Amino acid sequence: MIDFEALFALFSKRLTLTAYSITKDWHTAEDVVQESFIKAYKKVETIENIEKIGPWLSAITTRTAIDFLRADKRRKWVPVDFTYMDFLEFHAEVGMSTEEEVEINLFKDDLNQSIHDLSKEYQEVIVLKMQYGLKEAEIANLLQLKSTTVKTRLHRARKQLKLAISEKYPA
């Protein structure tokens, strides 16, 4: 039987740092670690090699932190392209009419919905890149993917978003 109190004492600091590197918030990181240990406890019978419990817990923590980011993302709008951000900032500085503000808010909603319509793997990379400003190498390390895979997914995600937005907002 695995002693989870001992595991927590042994790995909690490292896992909290891992979660913090993803969430950029200490309180959320602590929540992620707690949730990770709950998930680990429920799936303890799936561990085949007790010596690899540290990496196993790290993988659970990483995925849980990403899930927390996704949940947070659902509550917030994520700008996808710097062109759109420049456009929105320009109009915010100049001053907008109520009609323009409503149009921009509708555009943001459509863009956010388009992000939600992407596949899970495309959502992961686009959110980590655009919202959290991570570089391709950092995303690859975080998601345990090759850098080229991340670049390909980013390219395809942007392409799908541009297509979705151009269908809703023809030029």
CATH number assigned to the domain comprising residue 50: 1.10.1740
pLDDT of residue 14: 92
pLDDT of residue 31: 92
* 132 and 86 assigned to the same domain: yes
- 15-39 residue pLDDT tens: 999 999 888 888 999 999 999 999 9
* 93 and 162 assigned to the same domain: yes
What are the Cα distances from residue 161, in Å, to 87, 122, 129, 134, 138? 17, 10, 14, 19, 22
Phi, psi of 144 (to 5 degrees): 55, 50
We report the CATH number of the domain holding residue 123 as: 1.10.10.10
From its phi and psi, is residue 10 left (phi > 0), alpha (psi between -120 and 50) or beta? alpha
Q: Which of 75, 96, 114 is the last residue of a domain?
A: 75
Q: Is pLDDT of 84 > 90?
A: no
* 71 and 108 assigned to the same domain: no
Q: Which of 45, 75, 105 is the last residue of a domain?
A: 75
Provide the terminal-to-terminal Cα distance of the chain, rounded to the nearest Å.
63
* 94 and 19 assigned to the same domain: no
* 15 and 58 assigned to the same domain: yes
Q: Are 166 and 85 in contact (CB under 8 A)?
A: no
Number of domains making up the chain = 2
Q: Is pLDDT of 109 > 70?
A: yes
Q: H-type helices in 76-97, by residue range?
A: 82-94
* 88 and 152 assigned to the same domain: yes
- For helices 120-130 and 98-117, angle between their N-to-C axes, nearest 10 degrees: 130
pTM: 0.45
Residue 75 binned pLDDT confidence (cut-offs 50, 70, 90): low
The SS3 assignment for 60 reads helix
Of 126, 128, 130, whose CA–CA distance to 154 is shortest? 126
Q: Is pLDDT of 117 > 90?
A: no
* 58 and 109 assigned to the same domain: no
Average pLDDT, the chain: 81
More reliable by pLDDT, 83 or 25? 25
Question: 58: which DSSP letter?
Answer: H
Which residue type occupies 131? Q
Mean per-residue pLDDT, 166-171:
74
> Cβ of 76: how many Cβ atoms within 10 Å?
8
More reliable by pLDDT, 93 or 42? 42
Domain containing residue 92: 82-168
Give me 108's structure tokens. Answer: 């943001």
Q: Are 44 and 81 in contact (CB under 8 A)?
A: no
pLDDT of residue 83: 55
Q: Are 40 and 32 in contact (CB under 8 A)?
A: no
